[in-house]
Amino acid sequence: MNKEEIIFGGGCFWCTGAVFKMLKGVISVLPGYAGGQKENPTYKEVSEGNTGHAEVIKIKFDSSKISFRDLLTVFFATHDPTTINRQGSDVGTQYRSIILYTNDIQKKEAEEFMEEIDSSATSGSKVVTEVKPLIKFYEAEDYHKDYYAKNSVMPYCQVIINPKLEKVQREFRKLISQ
């Protein structure tokens, strides 16, 4: 087993967490906060947009079962990396698109992947995803863990998360855990 970690932020961590939990080779997905200045931030503080942190997920994965490139593909396909500090109706720096890498290979692959997206785009905005080294990850409060699995009948899950999960099932069938 080749275990690695990567931190992705692409809007609400309830959404990104549910998406990546579906994938084969993903060992665990943990919601949290990263990329800001405040020590031990709370959900309320991050939600107010004053900590500099983004809502993120820490993904532990087995790179012998799923490549980092496949994770990047799903990441960029399941959020809008061209909007600054916004994903749908979620607005603020806490919802920005961010990759916090844990090694230099991840940094290089992420930057090259973003260049590919930008050079292949026929029109529209460029990718604004931040790519930075992980300094510190703060685990989110317990009620955020497995949020979708525990709350899938809630309106937010039905309206916002379900379409993303359906897209992954449709477009990335070969990457889904059986």
Residues taking part in catalysis: 12
End-to-end CA distance of the chain: 19
Q: Within its chain, how far is the Cα of 121 from the centroid? A: 22
Q: What is the 3-state secondary structure (H, E, C) of 35-71?
A: CCCCCCCCHHHHHCCCCCCEEEEEEEEECCCCCHHHH
- The b/e string for 73-90 (b: 16+ C-beta within 10 A; e otherwise) is ebbbebbebbbeebbeee
Rounded to the nearest 5°, which phi and psi values hold at 125?
-85, 155
The token pair at 164 is: 């993303």
